[in-house]
Amino acid sequence: MRQATLKENERALNNAVASVEIEGYSVPASDKALCMDVLNGELTKEDFIKLLLERRQV
């Protein structure tokens, strides 16, 4: 299976964010950056979830 390009990852993320925002929610820039890290293979999904949960417990 081929890997998605950076442009494809950005497009996928932007589409997902737009869908969330249509529902009235917002996605902070820091969370978008973490999502890109996951899409680019720089962060695991498990670590991503762990980081988000830690941020929300502050």
Q: What pTM was estimated for this model as a whole?
A: 0.79
Q: Give the start-to-end residue ranges of the domains of the chain.
A: 6-56
The larger pLDDT score, comparing residue 26 to residue 2, is at 26
Per-residue pLDDT band for 16 (boundaries 50, 70, 90) equals very high
For residues 1-39, one letter each, b for 16 or more C-beta atoms within 10 angstroms of the residue's C-beta and e for the rest, the string is eeeeeeeebeeebeeebeeeeeeeeeeeeeeeebbbebb
For the cut 90, the answer to whether the pLDDT of residue 8 exceeds it is yes
Per-residue pLDDT band for 58 (boundaries 50, 70, 90) equals low
**Alpha carbon distance 34, 23 (integer Å):** 21
pLDDT tens for 29-57 read: 999 999 999 999 999 999 999 998 998 88
